Every structure is written in structure tokens, then in C-alpha cells.
Structure 1
Amino acid sequence: MTTSTAAATATTAAVRTQVRIPLRFSDGYQVAAEVVTFDGLADGAEHVALILGDPAATATPLVRLHSECLTGDVFGSARCDCGPQLREATERIAATGGVLLYLRQEGRGIGLYNKLDAYALQDQGLDTYEANLALGLPEDARDYTAAAQMLTALGITELNLLTNNPDKARQLDDLGISVTRTVPTGVHTTPSNLRYLHAKVQHTHHTIALAPVPSLAG
């Protein structure tokens, strides 16, 4: 998709439904969110926006694009940092006012079954990106056209982006969404996800401050 085509596509979605629901996390934190669904999203997936706090209180609301991770978000897997990032983002956005886009992009866009196949290869020594390539899949298959459509439908064309992933800011800029500032998330390390986080830094230049671990650098 060309930049001009993507920018045009990003204007065509519309709000479908909006409903208020409570969010509760395992550590006891809870907050209410306005959950918004959409018609006309480019990829046809059931992405949702969670409006937290009052985004209209600032010209540049805080926004996170969070890709669905069943294993981390729901089952609490320590192999990644997705669950802790979701918990952190929810509280930080609620405090300042903004939107969390929950995008149905399991496994960086390759789907749940492929992600679990990749897990099996990781158990044999490959990192998360190498495992995707070994399956004949992209390192990262995510396209954020639908995210730009959602933001545009919500009236948000300028924002601060909560992310460590430079590709998210690049894609949003190309899609006509102005990223005023990139705000890093915390670093959520466990013995189980340290190699995964190093792979993010090495392969896709995530801005994560990690101590060098020579044994994990390969």
C-alpha cells in the first residue's frame, strides 16, 4: 500500500458502538473505559479502542497501540512483556487522558497458532524473529492502517505515542497521524523474557535499556 493510498484509507472508518465497561487487573488495579467498536476498518478485524480518562483535556492525548497477546495478556505468560505493558499503559493513559487501541494482531500479526509454532522453535534455540522466519513468515507482519482509521474516527490526528517500537511511530506518520512525542514504556524483565527483549532491540531497534548479556546476543 502506498503512503497516499494508506492516508486516504485511514479516513473511512466510523464509530459503530460505544459502551462503558470496568477493567480489572490481577494486582487489584481497576478503572472504567469507554470501549469503542468500528465499521469500515481496512483489515476487517475486530479491533477496539479503550478511551481512558479524558482525551479531550489535552491537544496531544497519550495513545498506545497494543497488539493482542492471549498468552501474555490473559494467561500471564512470562515469555514476553505484553501483559505488564498492557497493565502499565492502562494506568498511565487513564491518568493523563487518552486511548489504548487493542489490536487483534496476535504474534506480531502471524496469528495464535503460528505464534505457538514459533514458541516451539524458540524452545529449540531460535529467537522470536528467527522463529517467524523459519516458519516462512515475516519478522513482523503488522500494518497499522486500521489503527490510523480508528484514531481518525475518534477525532485524534495528533498524539503522544506510548511505545518502545519505532515502527509504530513511522507507520502512523505515514498514515497521516502526527506523533508529537514518543513516550517509552517501562522495562518489564523476567528470567523468561530477557532473550525476547534483547531480540526486540537487536532486530527491530526497540528503545529498551537492557544490560548486555553476552550469552543472549546471538
Structure 2
Amino acid sequence: MARRIAEAVMPTRYGDFRGAGFQNGDSEAVALTREPLADDAPMVRLHSECVTGATLGSLRYDCGEQIDAALAIIARIGGVVLCLPQEGSTASPTRSGLTRFKTPASRCRCESRPRLPVDAREYRSAAAAVLRPMNLTRVRLITNNPKKWSELEAEGITVVERVRLEVRPNLVNVKYLETTAARMGHLILGRDKESAAG
């Protein structure tokens, strides 16, 4: 189980959140909480770090739009954004980011790393270890990624509702997101019903 190691108020453009740092073995995670939390099943977003999309603002990926949309939802109704220190591969963030710059925009990042897992991110120990000490065992999960809720359920975290993250593809990343949907089952807004990305 993760150990709380720091806590502070985190001002954002969406309002103030309560930030808490957790350590779980060699890894750390940050939880941003906006109260009030729903008594039965608070809104929760699991967000993996993304240097190219969320930090550098690359249009090839929708990570930045995802975290913005999630913070806006939770700022409005309350909940938790859990930021996990993992890129979408087993490579280091720097190496992974540089690989993405060289990858054609139409290709899924997993196709640029054929020897690595399609999606090396994991949510069982990383997320559940933090959610439990926060007494979050029943959640409404903001995600378009089926792997997130299946892994939480496998760890005994009940996902009572999956809330779609409404982020529209742009002209640069639409082909990439379609490939991600086909390879990993993510949902894309505006593609048929809910095409089978975050």
C-alpha cells in the first residue's frame, strides 16, 4: 500500500485542488483532490505522464486535452485526479518522447516499439495502492481506456460507472487515435457510435 509523503494546496486554472504525494516502493504518484467527494462513488481519473503530449503540447497525442478535460470535470463536481509516473512504454520518458518525434503521425506509438508491449502501463498496483489508503474502493472512472477499469476491478476497486472523456481528435492525431482504438480498444469521440483514446 502506498504511503502519503507530502500534502499541499495546488492552485490551478480550474480552481484549488488538494495535492498529495504518495510513495509505493520505488515509484511515486500525485493525487489531486477537489471536494466535496461523492459519498458512494467519487469521480476518479487515472492519468499517466506524457512528456510529448501533456508537457510539450504535441498535437500528435491527446494527453494534454485529456488532463485538461478531466480537471475541468472534477473541478465542477468533485473527485480525484491520480497522476501516475509512467509513459506508454517501458522506455525512459526521454527516449520514449524522442521516439515519438520520429514516428509518423499516422502510426500508433506501440508500432514504433515492436519489441515492447502494446501498452506497458499498468493500473493494478500503481493506482489501487493509492486509491485504497484514500478509502476509494468504489469509483466513477473517467476514461476511454477499457484496460483501466478492468485492472482496477481485478484489484477489488469497484467501477460503478465509466464516464467518457470527451476529447475530439485533431487533424494531426486522428489516424494515430484510430490505430490506437483498433489495437487497444480505446474509445474515440465522434467515430461511429463510440469507436473502439485515454
**Residue 137 of structure 1: aligned partner:** 116
Asked if 1:111 corresponds to 2:117, the answer is no
Aligned mates of 1:80, 1:173 — CA distance in 2: 27
Number of residue pairs matched by the alignment: 191
**Residue 60 of structure 1: aligned partner:** 41
Question: Which one-letter code corresponds to 2:177 in the other structure?
Answer: L
Change (3 A) 1:131 1:176: same
Q: Secondary structure of the residue that 1:101 maps to in structure 2?
A: strand
Which residues in structure 2 correspond to 1:14-29 (within 5 Å)? 14-24=3-13
Q: Secondary structure of the residue that 1:22 maps to in structure 2?
A: strand
Aligned mates of 1:161, 1:110 — CA distance in 2: 27
- C-alpha contact 1:85 1:188 (8 A) present in aligned 2: no
Question: Which one-letter code corresponds to 1:113 in the other structure?
Answer: T
Asked if 1:94 corresponds to 2:96, the answer is no
Structure 1 residue 142: deviation in Å? 1.0
Aligned mates of 1:124, 1:85 — CA distance in 2: 18
Q: Give me the TM-score of the superposition, normalised by structure 1.
A: 0.80
Structure 1 residue 83: deviation in Å? 0.4
**Unaligned regions of 5+ residues in structure 2, if any?**
193-198
Structure 1 residue 111: deviation in Å? 2.8
**Residue 195 of structure 2: aligned partner:** none
Structure 1 residue 47: deviation in Å? 1.1
Aligned mates of 1:162, 1:126 — CA distance in 2: 25
**Residue 201 of structure 1: aligned partner:** 181
Q: Secondary structure of the residue that 1:107 maps to in structure 2?
A: coil
Name the structure with the higher helix share: 1
Q: Percent identity?
A: 35
Change (3 A) 1:127 1:153: same
Aligned mates of 1:95, 1:155 — CA distance in 2: 21
Aligned mates of 2:65, 2:35 — CA distance in 1: 20
Q: Give me the TM-score of the superposition, normalised by structure 2.
A: 0.88
- C-alpha contact 2:45 2:80 (8 A) present in aligned 1: yes
Which one of 31, 35, 38 corresponds to residue 15 of structure 2? Answer: 31
Q: Secondary structure of the residue that 2:71 maps to in structure 1?
A: helix
Farther off after superposition, 203-212 or 67-76: 203-212
Aligned mates of 1:22, 1:73 — CA distance in 2: 18
**Residue 146 of structure 1: aligned partner:** 126
Aligned mates of 1:99, 1:183 — CA distance in 2: 14
- C-alpha contact 1:110 1:141 (8 A) present in aligned 2: no
**Unaligned regions of 5+ residues in structure 1, if any?**
1-11, 25-29, 213-218
Structure 1 residue 143: deviation in Å? 1.4
Aligned mates of 1:109, 1:183 — CA distance in 2: 28
Farther off after superposition, 166-175 or 116-125: 116-125
Asked if 1:185 corresponds to 2:185, the answer is no
**Residue 46 of structure 1: aligned partner:** 28
Aligned mates of 2:191, 2:47 — CA distance in 1: 25
Deviations 1:158-205 (A, max 9, x none): 000000000000000011111111111013211111112101210011
- C-alpha contact 1:33 1:50 (8 A) present in aligned 2: yes
Question: Which one-letter code corresponds to 2:185 in the other structure?
Answer: H
